[in-house]
Structure 1
Amino acid sequence: MTIASDDAQRDTSHMYRAMRDFVQSTDDTLPGKFEITKEGIVHDMMSPSGRHELTALRLRKRLEKVMPEEIVAHTGEPDVENEPEGIMRRPDVMVIAEADMDVDGSFDPRTLIAAIEVVSRSNPDNDWVGKMRDYPLLGIPVYAIFDPRTGTGAVLTDIHSTPAGPRYATRKDFVYGEGVTIGEWTIPTDDLPRYGDETEL
């Protein structure tokens, strides 16, 4: 086991704050979305497509039909952040208690009931690899992925310790058209849009 020196920890924290300041300074000035991972800044250069946003909207509405009123499926800002881990992410949909949204700054990721991502056609590894690694590190108990490229997805649960750090132990794959259970709630996945073959990104 390696324990970083105080100087190393300060250097890491300083680097993370510098990256966070850069990401926050780019909001609304550069296209795409910036997030911070264990490897550094991830930039999805393409703005979300209509089909990406329509998928997120339909998932939000379907979840809010079946969840208690005090639980919401939130799309948009702010980020979820764990500064000691050096991670700042912005899920497409965050299932969270409305009371836990009443905070200054970023959401505490440990208050999320689930994070949902709609896979970007321009950077699918960000959702299938990077966030699959980062979300258990953040303590988010359920991670659901919807992939409009293939009409498939997966729900990951049961965080457990591994030599590489916390990981999800259980993965349930699905195809569009099946019912999908996220947390305690099951929603239909029929009529979710798929990316086209030409210009949809």
Structure 2
Amino acid sequence: MTVAPGSAQQGTARLYRAMRDFVQSTDDTLPGKFEITKEGIVLDMMSPSGRHELTALRLRKRLEKVMPEEIVAHTGEPDVEDEPEGVMRRPDVMVIAEEDMDTEGSISPRALIAAVEVVSRSNPDNDWVGKVRDYPLLGIPVYAVFDPRTGTGAVFTDIHGTPDGPRYATRKDFLYGEDVTIADWTIPTHDLPRYPD
């Protein structure tokens, strides 16, 4: 059977809408956090731990100390969504102009200045693999990863085209305790909690 390109695109759009409807219908009814990636629905079964949330809180506060008042480091909802790409994510911290949050529904990923993720203990590949693939595709210029399992992280920048689609060209690794630059702002990483062994 031959599928015309228009039919294939319509089928992909329908599949994405069905996945989005499912994810939205499960909010607050099932444990964990659902996101839609290029490869389907991802579920982080465990609720974020106190150390995960404390890391996100400290990063948000440190960023907001050094950023201009009109830029915020937002934690929580809504999702970041690019329907044509079929991706819906919820970064732990979104660096965004406050005025760009004044929207109904999801936030456009192209409005983000940076996305910051704290690696989940139960699904680290979601942050280190899936989001490294999805965030440049969505046009998010800076992606910072903090990993409480190892006390390390990385900042990804400089989106460029590759045969596999847009990818980050630059990766700067860091250790907890070092200063880290995210977009135009440098913050300390001392006293970030670690997951127990």
Using structure 1 for the length normalisation, give the TM-score. 0.96
Deviations 1:106-156 (A, max 9, x none): 000000000000000100000000000000000000000000000000000
Residue 194 of structure 1, CA deviation: 0.1
AA aligned opposite 2:66: V
d(CA) in 1 for partners of 2:82 and 2:6? 19
Structure 1 runs, 4 residues or longer, greater than 6 Å off = none
Segments of 5+ residues of structure 2 without an aligned counterpart are none
Does residue 1:104 correspond to 2:101, yes or no? no
For the aligned residues, what is the CA RMSD? 0.9
What residue number does 1:178 align with?
A: 178
Same amino acid, percent of matched pairs: 85
After superposition, the C-alpha distances for 1:60-102 in whole angstroms (9 at most, x for unaligned) are 0000000000000000000000011100000000000000000
Query: Which residues of 2 match residues 88-103 of structure 1 at below 5 A?
Result: 88-103=88-103
Q: Offset at 1:4?
A: 6.3
Residue 156 of structure 1: aligned partner:
156
> Which residue in the other structure is 1:79 paired with?
79
Which residue of structure 2 aligns with residue 61 of structure 1? 61
Q: Distance in 2 between matches of 1:80 and 1:194?
A: 27
Residue of structure 2 equivalent to 1:116: 116
**Paired residue secondary structure (2:29):** coil
Are residues 1:32 and 2:32 paired?
yes
| Structure 2 counterpart of 1:5, one-letter code | P
Q: TM-score, normalised by structure 2?
A: 0.98
